[in-house]
Structure 1
Amino acid sequence: MSAPPRLAPLEEARALLPTAPVAPRRLPLDRAIDHVLAAPLRAPGPLPPAPVALREGWAVASALTEGAGPYAPLPLPGLAWVVPGEALPPGTDAVLPPFALEDGAVLEPVAPGEGVRLAGELAAAGAELRPAGHLLAPADLLLAAAGIAAVEVRVPRIALRGAGLLAALVRAEGAEVVEAAPDLVLAVGATPDPLLLPAIATRPGEGLAVGRLDGAPALLLPAEPEAMLAGWWLLARPALRALAGRAPPPRQRMRLARKIASPIGFTELVALGADGAPAPPLGLVAALLTVPAGREGYEAGTEVEVEAP
């Protein structure tokens, strides 16, 4: 009768999975959405490059409106109409509201810069607009207004073998699902060759293993959804974030509503609800608590550090 496989610590398993970011790839801005910036994104010049209108109205030289009023209209014909975001014509420095001009005469004065966004007001040349490791979102398409047409991103290539359930999670981390030449394989029901760690001391986690498949590092995941997600959170997601050059999920403090008991020697992942109690099966998960292998758990009322699911 063969002896059961050695239960490897979680840290040993993580060390066998990717820890270095993949090479950057330059993509058009619209195709880079949902991928991770490889380097800080900086303003190519002052933003805006010239004064622009913040409101609809008439572009004027403010000095020419001094003394204007309802009872002392000041003739100022030939003014140019501007809309928000439009560059001011040369020689103008303010936007007169629509109601302040009647029959070509100004009815009120405006101060220099009124109704105007000045050159460089949003960002100086070279200012950091987005940090490295930022996951680009649809709102980042606004960067096109700064003249940014393409960006350098890191796009990990992940192969799924029987783990299609995780495809959406893989894409949410800025990676892409591929069939060939992966950086990492996530597999269910496949045996890595070679099998480097056949068992890992995590709970849930029976069936978690690390090896190689398709010439790439591979994480073998359990088929049971709860254990599969535990393997994703404890091992797969950290590996994907390392490949993308992305920081770990943000951490926060939460007070436990109930006692958490955990066996010594196992790293345990506990899904918590918003009330600080363990989330029931199919319940909403508000936070994830990782109990280290050296702890027997936490008493009710303990404030612990958790991360977003």
Structure 2
Amino acid sequence: MRAAEEELAVEQALALVRRQSSGEPRPTGRPASADQGPDAHRAVSAGQGCAAGRSGPASEHEDAARSSASDRRAGRIPDPDHRADRPRAQDRRERSTSWPEARALAARSGRGDPVRVRHLPLDQALGHVLAEPLVALTDLPPFDTSAMDGWVVSGPGPWTVREPTVSEEGLEGAGDAGPGPSPDPGAKSRPVRDRGILAGHGAPARLPDGDAIRIATGARIPADANAVIRSEHGRVDEAKGLLHARYRVNPGQDIRPRGQECRSGDLLLPAGTVVTPAVLGLTAAAGYDGLATVPRPRVDVLVLGDELLTSGLPYDGLIRDALGPMIGPWLRALGANVSSPQRLGDDAAALRRALTDSDADLVVTTGGTAAGPVDHVHPVLSELGAELLVDGVAVRPGHPMLLARLEAAGPFIVGLPGNPLAAVAGLLTLAEPLLHGLAGHVPYEPYRAVVRDELPGHPHDTRLVPVVHRVAVSCHEATGGRESGGRGAWGRGADRPTGGAGARDVGTGGVAEYVVPLRYDGPAMLRGIAAADGLAVVPPGGVRSGTEVEILELPWASVTPWTEGCFT
């Protein structure tokens, strides 16, 4: 019997003994089992039998009951639900960490060690995280360039169209662009004629006032030029050799001035930024051939449980392993390098060997974190002297998750519950913030959204509920003023709706974003999370419809919202 339940049962038995000894009538109302459960009811029944079978004073029964409970707690009477090397479930519940605290502790743990740096060429850096700030090595653009195909002009029009040549003086000035290969020497004094000034050539000669020259997009602007006229905005009088503008010409139009995007030495991106294809493009433009990155965390996955099948249909008490196929890809989506899952069954010795032999940054176990007869994670960690950083979290599902570390510089261990949705809760609560810290990610602000339906809560614990995003769009032309419901997801850093309780009001052309809870949210279920965009964080006590809640987004959630039936 658990300690807290024993205390309650003893107090009830003593109260009953006192009432019977003093002749007080037994109170009426709901039976004890309705409030305190079957253990309390059994304790009351035991107290009644004791009082009926003895005629001694109440103090004798009190002393005996207290002595029995004291002996059991002191270990002199064996507890059938407890083994010396296995913590009791009630004990761990009392030690549980709150959900926000557990998530924050995991993030701090991931950032506790010095950042490792690995230099990679650009073609290998995709998906890694910047270990150092990205600083421009050159001006962008490095010289004044044309933003359009057309004519570059100097002074007021109309302009005399001439055929340019690249001057000796202009080629010598081409070095102003900074370090790099020299222009083609054969380009000196080479006539450009109908093609005009092209990209990739040296600086053209100074453009006299009143002249115009054909120019290509990206080509260098001649000195003293003051505008570019797009091809479709100009008309050439072939007979007179004059260029006329169809529209007003403004100084500087369609010219990208040197340093418009950045100057050499400007901070482009902070350390902790994920290297995306766009980041690779910016990096190359800024003059880099490689990047200093944080190595991706290495993760080993240990699948525990004798009841798991790797193929076929369930039979004879055996079930398919859902976590082995899911955990590895999930961790890879979080940016980790993950080894193939090791299936250990319920074997304490195999678990001990796998933990001690691992050279990973993180070991993730599935199952075996509770207090059952074959739940070996806690006893093995205790034998290995691991430090338990989080031992149970006040969250549903996923309460028996844990975070530990074998040594000061050894691997972290995230113990996930065996139930699939509970394991997902453990991934998002402990593994994700830990991996983000190990990988050097920039901390991000929590994403919040309005929930459309009421979300019941647990009296004391946080709940994580699968939700789907919805976007309501008012499309008066397409739907006669009716709202068109759609499904979408807003990624971190996306242009999310703002105003009110986190969403724009629906009006003419307006958008309102919200989330809706999904069914199949039991700890052993995956049907809900498979269709979800994220998990809503429901505080103890629950929330009403229209309340803004934190959303844990899934790593593959789309960063661009979309709607069904209306795109206006």
Deviations 1:39-97 (A, max 9, x none): 33222232111011211234x4513xx331xxxx7242336333322333556554344
Q: TM-score, normalised by structure 1?
A: 0.80
Partner of 1:141: 280
Deviations 1:254-288 (A, max 9, x none): 13411422131x33222223354422233432443
Partner of 1:210: 403
SS of corresponding position for 1:30: helix
Task: Flag the 1:142–1:19 CA change in 2: closer, same or farther, 3 A.
Answer: closer
Q: 1:240 aligns with which of 423, 435, 444?
A: 435
Deviations 1:151-208 (A, max 9, x none): 2222341313145523333333333335863222222257374253654432111552
Between 193-202 and 226-235, the greater mean CA deviation after superposition: 193-202
Cα shift at 1:118: 0.7
Partner of 1:176: 337
Q: By percentage of residues, which structure has more strand?
A: 1
Q: 2:549 aligns with which of 299, 304, 309?
A: 304
Deviations 1:10-58 (A, max 9, x none): 4358636533363232222332221222333222232111011211234
Between 89-98 and 277-286, the greater mean CA deviation after superposition: 89-98
Instruction: Judge conservation of contact 1:56–1:81 (CA < 8 Å) in 2.
Output: no
Q: 1:118 aligns with which of 232, 257, 272?
A: 257
Cα shift at 1:231: 0.8
1:260 aligns with 2:456: yes
Q: Percent identity?
A: 30
Partners of 2:241 and 2:328 in 1: how far apart?
64
Partner of 1:81: 197
SS of corresponding position for 2:413: strand
Instruction: Judge conservation of contact 2:153–2:227 (CA < 8 Å) in 1.
Output: yes
Cα shift at 1:212: 4.2
SS of corresponding position for 2:517: coil
Partner of 1:160: 300
Q: By percentage of residues, which structure has more helix?
A: 2
Partner of 1:291: 538
For 1:176, the aligned partner's letter is N
1:95 aligns with 2:228: yes
1:47 aligns with 2:140: yes
Instruction: Judge conservation of contact 1:44–1:126 (CA < 8 Å) in 2.
Output: yes
Partners of 2:229 and 2:516 in 1: how far apart?
59
SS of corresponding position for 1:81: coil
SS of corresponding position for 1:6: helix
Task: Flag the 1:164–1:133 CA change in 2: closer, same or farther, 3 A.
Answer: farther
Cα shift at 1:142: 1.9
Task: Flag the 1:13–1:107 CA change in 2: closer, same or farther, 3 A.
Answer: closer
What runs of 5+ residues in structure 1 fail to find an aligned partner? none
Partners of 1:42 and 1:217 in 2: how far apart?
33
Deviations 1:215-260 (A, max 9, x none): 4111011343312211111111111112223213641231341142
Partner of 2:478: none
Q: 1:30 aligns with which of 119, 123, 127?
A: 123
Task: Flag the 1:200–1:96 CA change in 2: closer, same or farther, 3 A.
Answer: closer
Q: CA RMSD in A?
A: 3.2
Partners of 1:171 and 1:43 in 2: how far apart?
31
For 2:413, the aligned partner's letter is A
Higher RCO by CA contacts (8 Å cutoff, separation 6 or greater)? 1
Partners of 1:273 and 1:77 in 2: how far apart?
62
Partner of 1:9: 97
Partners of 1:250 and 1:147 in 2: how far apart?
34
Partners of 1:279 and 1:230 in 2: how far apart?
15
Partners of 2:537 and 2:127 in 1: how far apart?
27
Partners of 1:181 and 1:302 in 2: how far apart?
45
Q: 2:244 aligns with which of 88, 108, 118?
A: 108
Partner of 2:157: 67
Instruction: Judge conservation of contact 2:146–2:255 (CA < 8 Å) in 1.
Output: yes
For 2:402, the aligned partner's letter is A
Task: Flag the 1:261–1:118 CA change in 2: closer, same or farther, 3 A.
Answer: same
Between the two proteins, the alignment pairs up a number of residues equal to 299
SS of corresponding position for 1:50: coil
